Amino acid sequence: MKKENTPIIPSETIINKIFILRDEKVMLDVHLAQIYGVETRVLKQAVRRNMDLFPNDFMFILNDTEVDILVSHFVIPSKQSLGGSMPFAFTETGVAMLSSVLKSKRAREINITIMRAFVSLRKTLLNHTELRLEIEEIKKKLKNQDKNIELVFNYFDELMDKQENSKPRKLIGFKRKSGN
């Protein structure tokens, strides 16, 4: 028996199926169909019957250039694998809307797991952003230190040049006669 919070599919599997397209984190219909356990054409049919639930900020159809990019990055095996129709890309809100279109218990459970994966990804990206900001702050501080260190070395070089270019100094003091 499955525990209440145990996901059907590991979050890592889902996170690996989230891509950035048109500055949006999206999942492709082919991957969602695999996760939901339905054929891609069945998922697309359900969406097409309910297009009013999927405005452009929920779902969009990829263009040829985007498909070429996904094929070149091995996200999808080939254009031929699409069966002549362009993939649908679902944003986080579009994926949430899918549970109302695919009305099975599995779809609802999968949706919960996918939403958790999106939240986890968002947290990870936020942590990386905070880390980047901290690194940039450290770089700024070190940059100023680099200037100070460089200034010290410049002064040191000037002092060395002065010593090399100065006339030999006369020795001061008593001379001993050799032989005593």
Read off the CATH number of the domain in which 111 is found. Answer: 3.10.260
Asked if residue 76 belongs to a domain, the reply is: yes
Mean of all residue pLDDT scores within the chain: 78
Asked if residue 136 belongs to a domain, the reply is: no
Determine the average pLDDT of the residues in 134-159.
71
- Cα separation of 43 and 95, whole Å? 11
Total of domains in the chain: 1
Q: pTM for the whole thing? A: 0.59
Asked if residue 121 belongs to a domain, the reply is: yes
Asked if residue 77 belongs to a domain, the reply is: yes
Q: Give the per-residue pLDDT at 177.
A: 74
CA atoms within 13 A on the CB side of 11: 11
List, for residues 33-62, the tens digit of each pLDDT value.
888 888 889 899 999 999 999 999 999 999
Instruction: Give 1's pLDDT tier (boundaries 50, 70, 90).
Output: very low
Q: Give the per-residue pLDDT at 111.
A: 75
Residue with more model confidence, 47 or 154 = 47
- Cα separation of 36 and 40, whole Å? 10
Q: Give the per-residue pLDDT at 5.
A: 56
Asked if residue 159 belongs to a domain, the reply is: no
Asked if residue 117 belongs to a domain, the reply is: yes
Asked if residue 167 belongs to a domain, the reply is: no
Per-residue CA distances from 127 to 45, 120, 131 (Å): 38, 11, 6
Interior CA angle at 111 toward 31 and 68, to 5°?
25
- What percentage of the chain reaches a pLDDT higher than 90? 16
Domain range for 38? 11-127
Asked if residue 141 belongs to a domain, the reply is: no
